[in-house]
Structure formats: structure tokens, C-alpha cells
Structure 1
Amino acid sequence: MFSHLMVAYIFIYICLGLIGLGIILLLQMKISHNKEQQRRKMYEQKHHDYFMYIQAHIEDKGALRLPPGKLKPLERKVIQDKYMEWIEQFKGEYRTHLIQLCRDAGFVEADLKGLSSFRFGRRLEAAYRLGGMRAEEAVPALLQMLQKGKYTSLSIVIARSIAKSAENAEDVLTMLRSLLSHGKPIHHLAADIMLETGLDASSILMKLLDDSDPALVKVGLVAMWGQAVPEVMPVLGRLVGSEEKDVRAEAVKLYLSSNPALKDETIVQLMSDRDWEVRAAAAKALGPLHAAGSIPLLVKSLQDANWRVRHNSAESLAALGEAGFEALCQAALSGAGIQREAALQRIELVMEKVEEHSAIEQMVAYNKKRLIHDRYFGVKQPVRRVTGVAAVGGDYTA
């Protein structure tokens, strides 16, 4: 009993000692960090005139002067960070001058050596800085690191640096293949990295969409969001029929978001696709596309086995004016099961939006839907109407 008690006391003392040691280390790290920040501010103030000189002479044709005097390690980092900040902000000749200044100051050479450091933190820092300086001579070494290493946080930093520094599209494609070779679901991240390149994005997108690797095709499709690239639209139409589920679903979303003039057979094909993601994307797009001829298809899709397809179909029906809303009411009154439930849920949401209508056209459209609702389900007291607007005569559909 006594020995067990002593062991317990010893364990408690050891734990208290470790906790105390941890607190001391944290305090030392905090103090060290604060001192470094103070020194950084001091160096920034010291080189204020030099920074002003760079900004004033960056348009000059000749080479810019290097920082004056012998610099300490932290001092060099402060100046290098300022260069990298300007490289991110400037374009064209200004950026070219700053990149050359990084080479002349020896920053690129120092970080190239840092890539072979035994310390992980030093390699990570070197890869990040080389990308920030757009060091094209670092691309082969960075590609080699990316291809040999496992997927870690360093992989993302290396990939981003390659995208920023690469001078030809093949290096970017090789980077993407290496990054995706680990099988991680990082297509959105890879697309974001690819778009940081200074190369022509449209030519890279064409190569991605024509690649035999579905992972690269998906990266290209994700990267197309927010990009106006008319050249890829024929390829996009082809990918709508892809055998790969993810590729086809993403292609359909992009295809429909471009507001094409859909043919009836195309709508039927998309609404009967074997994958629910495609059916849901098509159902969601038919409302904004004002495809009133698709109302029967949308009503039928209210019986779809997938909840998202039913939800999107009801939403599009509500967006298709009086005809679409009346079809919803008919489905709610005569339908059964999941079809009736989806229709009633959307009708309830539409009727609750009376306070949101401020424009006259919206108020007229709401009152028309209110009349249709009352005709099918009767008038409920009190009736909440938008007053001051007559909903009779003419076609006022929003």
C-alpha cells in the first residue's frame, strides 16, 4: 500500500514538472517571438529610405541598387519579404525588375540551397519563398521534391510555388499529375493552385479537359468556374456525356450555368440520367433558364428517389411563373407520398415570402400565385396579401 502511494506521488510530481516545463517553454517562445517582431519593426524603419528608393526607381531601365551595408539574417528576411510583397502586387516590367533584384541580392540562390536542408521547416520556408520570388530556375528541383515526397503540407506549398514560377504549361501539368497521384480528393485545391500561374489559363484548361486522366479533367472543370473561356465550350459539350460520374456531373453544372438554348431531347436526357447529381443539376437549372416546356418533366421529378432532385425540381417549378406554380399546387393536391411532400414544402416557402416582395412586379407575381393557391386549397384566415396592387388584367408574370 505504501509503495503504491509513493508511486502515485512520484507520478504526480513528474506530471507537475512536465506541465511547469511546458509553461516555461511557451513563455520563452512568446518572449522570443515578441523580440523578433520588435527587431523586424526596427529593420523596417532602418531601411525605410531604401524601400522608398525602390518604389521611386522601379520604372528605371537600369538595375536597381542592392540593400546597403552588411545585412544580418533577420534583416535579409525583412527585405526579402518586402520584395515578395511587391512581386505579388505588381505585374509586367515592375515584377520583372523585382524578381531580378531578388537574384542579384542572392535570395534565390540561398533558398535553392535551403531546399536540400535536413530541417523540414527550412525546406518548407525555402519552397514558399522561391514561389514568392517566381524563381523559374527552382522549378526542376521543386518538381523532383514533389514527385519523390509523400503528400504533406509541404506538397501544397511546393505545388503552389511551381504554379507561380513555371514558364511552360508542361511543368504545371506535371505538377498537377504528381499532386493528384496520391489519390486525395483535392481537385478544388488543385484548381486553385493551377490558377495562380502567370501562363495563359485558357491553353492549360484545354489541355486539362482533353487529358485522358479523369482527375485532371475534373480539375479543369472546377477551374472553369468564373473563367470566361469560349474555346472550351465544345469540349464541355462532349464531357456532358462522359462515362466518369464526377466528370459528367461537373460538366453538366458548367454546361447549364452557361445558359445554353437547350433542346427538348437534351433536357429529357439530363433529367433521366443515371446519376442523381446530374438530375439535380439539370432540375436546378431549368427554373433560371425559364424552360416552361419542361414543367411536366419537373413534376415527374418530384417523385425522384433522391431528395436533392425533388427539392430542385420544386424550386424550379416555383420559378416558372403561374404555370409552374399551378403545376406545384396540382401535384400537392392530387399527388401522394414524396411528390406531395416536396410540392407542399415549396408552396409553403413561396407563400411565406410575402414580406420580401418590394418591387411592383414581384408583388403582382406573388398575388397571382396567392390566387392560384387559394383556388386549390381555399382561403385561410387571416389572408396575407400584398395590398395596393391589383392582380388582374394583362400578363404581369415576373
Structure 2
Amino acid sequence: MYSHLTVAVYFIYGCLGLILAGMLTLFWLRIRAIRTAKKTEIYLQKHQDYFKFVQTHLSGVSELPLPPGKLTPLERRVIQQRIMEWIEQLKGDMRDKLIKLCRDAGFVDDDIKLLDSLLYGRRIAAAYRLGGMRAAEAVPRMLLMLEQQKYSPLSIVIARSIAKCAEREEQLTEMLKHLLRHGKPIHNLAADILMETSLDASRLLLKLLDDENPDFVKVALVAMWGQAVPEVVPSLDRLVGAEEKEVRASAVKLYLSSNPVLKDETIRQLMADTDWEVRAAVAKSLGNTHAAGSIPLLRAALQDPHWRVRNNSAESLAKLGETGFEVLCQIAKHGSGVERETALYYVEKTMAQEGEHQKLDQMVAYNKKKLLYERYFGVAEAKPVRQVAAVGGDYTA
């Protein structure tokens, strides 16, 4: 009994000692952080003249001078960080001069050596700084680092640095392969990383669209948004019929955003797709392109099992002049179930837009729709538009 009590007492003392050691360690780290912040401010003030000189001579023909005097490690890091900030902000010759300054000052060589550090945190910090300095010579080492690492948020840091530094398309492709091999749904993030490159992005995206790796295709489709590349249309035309659901849906959305001239048979096939995202995208585009010949398809889509397809179809019908609006009125008057609710919502929404029309042609079109409304429902009265965005208990989105 006595021996057990003694062990318990020693255990408590040991726990108290560990707690005290932890508190002292945190206290020391806090003091060191405060001291580092104060020294950083001092060094920024000390080298203010050097920073101003570099800024004023960025557009000149002469090379930028190295930081003056014998510098402490923290002092070098402070100057390096300020130069990296300018590299992110500037383009062209001025950025190239700053990158050369980082090499001449030894900042790049120092961080390449740190990639072999035994401390993981130092390796990640070095990779981040090398990306900021656009150190192309560090790309092979960072690719190996990314390949050997299990996926974590820090993998994004390495991948982004590789994208900033890469000088060849093959390096970017290898970076994507290592980043996406873990099967994580990070295609949007990978596309954002890919666009950090200084290489010709449109040429690279075309290659990725034709790649056999579906992950590369997904990244390219995401990255294509906002990129005006006419050469991509043939690849999109092929991907519209892809077997993989996500690839097909993204390809259809991007294809429709280019305002193509769709054949009737193509529209029918897309409106019958098994993926609701494809059907919804097509239904929305038919109103934006004023495809009045597709009114029967939009009419049938009001009975679609997914609420987004029904809403987009009704919205497009409302945009297709008197004929489309009259179809909505007929369904709202004589239809049933979710198609009637959806049609009635968009009929009321259209009638509630009376004060929004400024141009003469808009007012004329509205008055024609108003006459149709009154033929089916009597004199229009001001009333709030009902919210029936998802009718019938369909929450599959």
C-alpha cells in the first residue's frame, strides 16, 4: 500500500514538472518571438536607405548592389523577405533584376542547402522562399521533396513554389502528378496553383485537356474558366461525351460558356444526359442564347426530377419572348405538382419586374407578357413573389 502511494506521489511530481517545463518553454518562445519582432523593425529601419536605392534603380540599366556590410542571419532574412515582396508585385525586367539580386546575394544558395535540413519546418520554409525568389535551379529538388511527402496542407506550399519556379512544361506536369496521386478532390486548388506559372498557360492547358489522366483533364477544365482560348473548342467537343461524370459536366459548362451554335440533336442529347448538372447547364444556356426552337424540350424539363433543372428551364422559358412566357402561363394555370409550382413562381417573378424596364423595347415586351398573364389569370395585382426554389422535397443538390 505504501509503495503504491509513493509511486502515485512521484507520478504527480513528474506531471507537475512536465507542466512547468512546458510553461517555461512557451514563455521562452513568446519572449523570443517578441525579441525577433523588435529586431526585425530595427533592421527594416537600418536598411531603409538601401531599400529606397533599390526601388529607385529598378528601371535602370545597371545591376542592383548587394546589401551593405556584414549581416546577421536575421538581418539577411529581413532583406530577403522585403525583396520577395517586390518580386510578387512586379513583372518583367524589374522582377528579373530582383531575382538576380537574390542569387547574387546568396539567398537562393542558402535556401537550397536548407532543403536538406533534418528539420521538416526548415525544409518547408526554404521551399516557400525559393518559390518567392523564382529559383528555377531548385525545382528538381522540390519535385523530389513533393514526391516523397505524404499529402498534407504543406504539400500545397511545395507545389505552388514549383509552379512559380518551373521553366519547362514537363516540370508542371510532374508537379500535378505528385499532387493529385493521393486521390484528394483538390482540382480547383491545383488549377489555381498551375496558373502561378510564368509559362504559356493556354498551351499547357490544351495539352492537359488531351491527356489520358482524368485528373489532368479536370484541372484543365477548371483553369480554362476566364481563359479565352479558341483552340480548346475541339477538345471540349470531345469531352462533352466523356464517360466520367465530373469531366462531362465541367466540359459541357465550359463549352456552353463559349456560346456555340448547337444542333438540335446535340441539344436533345444533352437535355437527356444522366447528370443533372449537364441538364441544368443546357437548360440555362437555351434562354441566354434565345433558342426558341427548344421550347418543347424546356417544357418537358419542367417535370425533371431535379429542382435546379426545373428552375433553369422555367427561367429560360421566361426569356424566350411571348411564346415561352405563354407556355409558363399554360402550365401555371392547367399543370399540376412541381411543374405547376415552378411555372407559377417564374410567371409571378416576371410580372414583378414591371419597374425594372427602362428601354422602350423592354417595356413593349413586358406589356405583351402582361396581356398574356391577364388572359390566363385576370388583372395583375401587386403581390410578393413566392419562394419555391426547391419544390417537392427534392434536395439532391
Alpha-carbon spacing, 1:293–1:24, altered in 2? closer, same or farther (3 Å)? farther
The answer for the alignment partner of 2:117 in structure 1 is: 117
Worse overlay, 52-61 or 231-240: 52-61
In the alignment, the residues of structure 2 paired with residue 274 and residue 221 of structure 1 have an alpha-carbon distance, to the nearest angstrom, of: 20
Alpha-carbon spacing, 1:334–1:82, altered in 2? closer, same or farther (3 Å)? same
Report the 3-state secondary structure (helix = DSSP H, G, I; strand = E; otherwise coil) of the residue aligned with 1:118: coil
Query: Map of 1:322-361 to 2, 5 A cutoff?
Result: 322-361=322-361
The answer for the alignment partner of 1:301 in structure 2 is: 301
The answer for the alignment partner of 2:390 in structure 1 is: none
8 Å CA contact 2:373, 2:380 repeated in 1? no
Report the 3-state secondary structure (helix = DSSP H, G, I; strand = E; otherwise coil) of the residue aligned with 1:191: helix
Q: Tell me the alpha carbon deviations over residues 132-188 of structure 1, each in whole angstroms, 9 at most, x when there is no partner.
A: 100011100111011111111221011101110000000001101111110000010
Worse overlay, 228-237 or 26-35: 26-35
In the alignment, the residues of structure 1 paired with residue 142 and residue 382 of structure 2 have an alpha-carbon distance, to the nearest angstrom, of: 70
Alpha-carbon spacing, 1:100–1:376, altered in 2? closer, same or farther (3 Å)? same
The answer for the alignment partner of 2:394 in structure 1 is: none
The answer for the alignment partner of 2:51 in structure 1 is: 51
In the alignment, the residues of structure 2 paired with residue 26 and residue 335 of structure 1 have an alpha-carbon distance, to the nearest angstrom, of: 70
Worse overlay, 14-23 or 292-301: 14-23
In the alignment, the residues of structure 2 paired with residue 275 and residue 74 of structure 1 have an alpha-carbon distance, to the nearest angstrom, of: 56
The answer for the alignment partner of 1:393 in structure 2 is: none
The amino acid across from 1:181 in the alignment is: R
Query: Map of 1:216-255 to 2, 5 A cutoff?
Result: 216-255=216-255
In the alignment, the residues of structure 1 paired with residue 364 and residue 26 of structure 2 have an alpha-carbon distance, to the nearest angstrom, of: 65
Report the 3-state secondary structure (helix = DSSP H, G, I; strand = E; otherwise coil) of the residue aligned with 2:352: helix
Alpha-carbon spacing, 1:287–1:69, altered in 2? closer, same or farther (3 Å)? same
Q: Tell me the alpha carbon deviations over residues 253-311 of structure 1, each in whole angstroms, 9 at most, x when there is no partner.
A: 01111111222111111111122111111011111111111111101000111111111
CA deviation after TM superposition for structure 1 residue 21, in Å? 8.5
The answer for the alignment partner of 2:198 in structure 1 is: 198
The answer for the alignment partner of 1:37 in structure 2 is: 37
Alpha-carbon spacing, 1:114–1:382, altered in 2? closer, same or farther (3 Å)? closer
The answer for the alignment partner of 1:177 in structure 2 is: 177
The amino acid across from 1:224 in the alignment is: M
- The unaligned stretches of length 5 or more in structure 1 are 1-10, 385-398
Alpha-carbon spacing, 1:313–1:26, altered in 2? closer, same or farther (3 Å)? farther
In the alignment, the residues of structure 1 paired with residue 14 and residue 370 of structure 2 have an alpha-carbon distance, to the nearest angstrom, of: 74
The answer for the alignment partner of 1:153 in structure 2 is: 153
Alpha-carbon spacing, 1:134–1:335, altered in 2? closer, same or farther (3 Å)? same
In the alignment, the residues of structure 1 paired with residue 329 and residue 341 of structure 2 have an alpha-carbon distance, to the nearest angstrom, of: 11
CA deviation after TM superposition for structure 1 residue 383, in Å? 8.1
In the alignment, the residues of structure 2 paired with residue 107 and residue 379 of structure 1 have an alpha-carbon distance, to the nearest angstrom, of: 77
Question: Sequence identity, in percent?
Answer: 63
How many residues in Structure 1 have an aligned counterpart in Structure 2? 378
Residue 365 (structure 1) aligned with residue 360 (structure 2)? no
Alpha-carbon spacing, 1:380–1:284, altered in 2? closer, same or farther (3 Å)? closer
The amino acid across from 1:81 in the alignment is: Q
The amino acid across from 1:167 in the alignment is: E
Alpha-carbon spacing, 1:24–1:292, altered in 2? closer, same or farther (3 Å)? farther
Q: Tell me the alpha carbon deviations over residues 169-211 of structure 1, each in whole angstroms, 9 at most, x when there is no partner.
A: 0000110111111000001000010011000011101110010
The amino acid across from 1:44 in the alignment is: L
The amino acid across from 2:227 in the alignment is: Q
Alpha-carbon spacing, 1:33–1:303, altered in 2? closer, same or farther (3 Å)? same
The answer for the alignment partner of 2:83 in structure 1 is: 83
CA deviation after TM superposition for structure 1 residue 83, in Å? 1.1
Report the 3-state secondary structure (helix = DSSP H, G, I; strand = E; otherwise coil) of the residue aligned with 1:287: helix
The answer for the alignment partner of 2:66 in structure 1 is: 66
In the alignment, the residues of structure 1 paired with residue 383 and residue 277 of structure 2 have an alpha-carbon distance, to the nearest angstrom, of: 39
CA deviation after TM superposition for structure 1 residue 364, in Å? 3.9
Alpha-carbon spacing, 1:28–1:288, altered in 2? closer, same or farther (3 Å)? farther
In the alignment, the residues of structure 1 paired with residue 16 and residue 327 of structure 2 have an alpha-carbon distance, to the nearest angstrom, of: 72
Q: Tell me the alpha carbon deviations over residues 227-268 of structure 1, each in whole angstroms, 9 at most, x when there is no partner.
A: 011121111111111111111110100111111122211111
The amino acid across from 2:320 in the alignment is: L
Report the 3-state secondary structure (helix = DSSP H, G, I; strand = E; otherwise coil) of the residue aligned with 2:342: helix
How large is the Cα RMSD of the aligned pairs? 2.8
In the alignment, the residues of structure 2 paired with residue 142 and residue 231 of structure 1 have an alpha-carbon distance, to the nearest angstrom, of: 33
Report the 3-state secondary structure (helix = DSSP H, G, I; strand = E; otherwise coil) of the residue aligned with 2:109: helix
Worse overlay, 209-218 or 89-98: 89-98
CA deviation after TM superposition for structure 1 residue 368, in Å? 3.0
The amino acid across from 2:316 in the alignment is: S
In the alignment, the residues of structure 1 paired with residue 181 and residue 150 of structure 2 have an alpha-carbon distance, to the nearest angstrom, of: 10
CA deviation after TM superposition for structure 1 residue 352, in Å? 3.2
Alpha-carbon spacing, 1:16–1:288, altered in 2? closer, same or farther (3 Å)? farther
The amino acid across from 1:262 in the alignment is: L
